[in-house]
Amino acid sequence: MASDGTVYLSGTTTGTFAGAQRSVQNVNNAFAAAIGTNGAVKWTQQYGGADGVSTGKSVAIDTQGSSVLDALGLPRGAVSLTQSVDLTNQTTLRAGDSFQIQIQGTAARTATITVDPGETFDSLVTKINGQLGGAGKASVNYTGAGENLKIQVNAGKTINLVAGPGDFDALSRLGLSAGVLTAPASGSASTSSTSTQSGVTPTYGLGLTGGVTGPLDISTKMGADMARSTLLQVLSSIQSTYQTTNAPPPATPTPGNTSGTANAATTAQLANYNLALSLMNTDPSNAVANIQSIIASGGQSGDGGLSSLLGALGGLGG
């Protein structure tokens, strides 16, 4: 029973309620009905199904007025089968309005999105997603107030939304703002280091838009839990944005230590290397001749003699 005293019923019938029609006779149909405080039936709805069969088990109500339509993100109101879905009829958009998407990164490119005659939200989303590829995703967001366009970027990606020319800007008429959209890379607290367009102020979305039922509501435990989860995500986004916008410039690389004094053992070993090289000369053929000359002369060579050579070669090991 609702707060106003209305009683809602659900069940199954093989009959046909007044004003209802059925395509298959003598099979189960689900129904829902509302009975007022005076006992009068306010309304009755009868539902078919596959092969005309359906079963009503139970019905639930929300004291706050929310419905399954809100949970599914669908608008309320009567559905007109003749209602136009043309964006030029639903919004202030006109055929020929446009905007650009600059996709940044290693395969940077710029795509122009133009509104065509007869454009719908679905066709526009398909067109945008065809250009975004793996950089992001466009979708239609259904709220109680109607439909609107939503563009998200994938982790580690950066895109720049550029307004269309003059009076032919589609962004503003779609309710979107020009600017840079970026998302942190997976597992990292920093956003992509790709440079943005000069003169464009980066825009960082916090996602503080409430749930599918509208603004954040903390009057119920479920609403409070959802609000807490949303606020934690917002705090994470703020931290990531702060770290990105306040990151210190990278340190200038410097050469290693080029000064100081080597120890005695290292100095002696270097001296042995130098002596051995001077005895052998820099030309391999001269080095062999020089060594043979030293050995043949019995160590009396003017270049240091056999003893010097052997001492130098022995010193190379340590």
Tens-digit pLDDT profile for residues 78-107? 766 555 678 888 788 899 999 999 988 777
Tokens at 40, concatenated: 């009068």
> Which pLDDT band holds residue 195 (cuts at 50, 70, 90)?
very low
Lowest model confidence (mean pLDDT) among 68-77, 279-288, 295-304: 295-304
Q: 311: closest CA among 260, 266, 273, 255?
A: 273
Query: Is the pTM for the entire model greater than 0.85?
Result: no
C-alpha–C-alpha distance, residues 286 and 54, integer Å: 103
C-alpha–C-alpha distance, residues 304 and 286, integer Å: 16
**What is the residue extent of each domain of the chain?**
7-65, 87-209, 264-315
User: What pLDDT does residue 200 have?
Assistant: 53
